[in-house]
Amino acid sequence: MTHVLDHTRAPEVSADVLRELAGVPAGGAVDALRDLRPAARENAQLAYRLLFAPDDDGEVSVLDRLAVALFVAGLHRDERAVSHYRRALLGAGGSDALAATLVAEAGTAAVTGPAGTYREPGLAAESDPVPDYRVVAREVLGERLSAAVEHARLLVLHPRDARPAALERLAAAGWAAGGTVTLSQLVAFLSYQLRAAAGLSVLHATPGAPR
């Protein structure tokens, strides 16, 4: 059984996703600091909207985008992000079973990163091999989404292990070139988004820092 929609709905888009993920109050000192870089603030929100509420989702459905995002949030062990993307997934029509499976898979797949094996002989001593990961609940996620989250784990935790074979596995699971590009863009954006939110959260929690 592959993942099932409860019923298709337009995804709910947060009005200020970085503020939500960072847990900083609207109008506070940290929020005011962000206003000093209005382009960065606006572009981060725009990228989020274009990736998760596109006018045309093309080769990658919004449901699959949110599923990958929930898995990546789990890899980062970011509880606010997990909550946010789980809520968005359910709001877009994803099932509780799908959300629970993605969170469980992320818990199984997570390792301390970045890691991986260097190909350069001079760096071989610094290699930190990562065990292979295969989705356990393939009957829930289906082959296409399973391949996507396996690839997301590679990009997030051990990108130095990227090889042509990784793209071949995506293609074998039904990912065309355009969808593969979108998937890579999505994972890259999430890595930026979650790190930016973590930085704002630390700033808010640091004694003596603007609050």
Peptide bond into 129 cis (omega under 30): no
List the structure tokens of 53.
């509420």
Q: Structural domain of residue 200, as residue ranges?
A: 17-204
What is the Cα–Cα distance from 187 to 69, expressed in whole angstroms? 8
Is 6 a domain residue? no
Is 190 a domain residue? yes
Q: Residue 3's pLDDT is what?
A: 61
What is the Cα–Cα distance from 138 to 22, expressed in whole angstroms? 32
Is 4 a domain residue? no
* 83 neighbors 197 (Cβ within 8 angstroms): no
Q: What is the pLDDT of residues 51-86, one digit of tens each?
A: 999 999 999 999 999 999 999 999 999 999 999 999
- How many domains would you assign to the chain? 1
Phi, then psi, of 81 in degrees rounded to 5: -65, -40
Local confidence band at 31 (pLDDT 50, 70, 90 cut-offs)? confident
Q: Residue 10's pLDDT is what?
A: 60
Residue 78, amino acid: D
Location of structure tokens 């295969």 = 134
pLDDT at 11 over 70: no
- How many alpha carbons lie under 13 Å from residue 56 in its C-beta half-sphere? 3
Is 64 a domain residue? yes
Is 194 a domain residue? yes
What is the Cα–Cα distance from 101 to 106, expressed in whole angstroms? 9
Q: What is the pLDDT of residues 133-156, one digit of tens each?
A: 999 999 999 999 999 999 999 999
* 149 neighbors 105 (Cβ within 8 angstroms): yes
pTM of the predicted structure, to 2 decimals: 0.89
Is 55 a domain residue? yes
Location of structure tokens 């459905």 = 61
Is 200 a domain residue? yes
Cα dist from 206 to 16, 19, 41, whole Å: 22, 16, 21
Residue 136, amino acid: V
Mean pLDDT of 117-127: 78
Is 209 a domain residue? no
Which CATH number goes with the domain that contains 121?
Answer: 1.20.1290
Q: Residue 125's pLDDT is what?
A: 76
Local confidence band at 163 (pLDDT 50, 70, 90 cut-offs)? confident
Q: Residue 80's pLDDT is what?
A: 96
* 57 neighbors 65 (Cβ within 8 angstroms): yes
Cα dist from 110 to 11, 76, 131, 146, whole Å: 27, 8, 10, 15
Q: 137 CB contacts (<8 Å, ≥6 apart)? A: 101, 104, 105
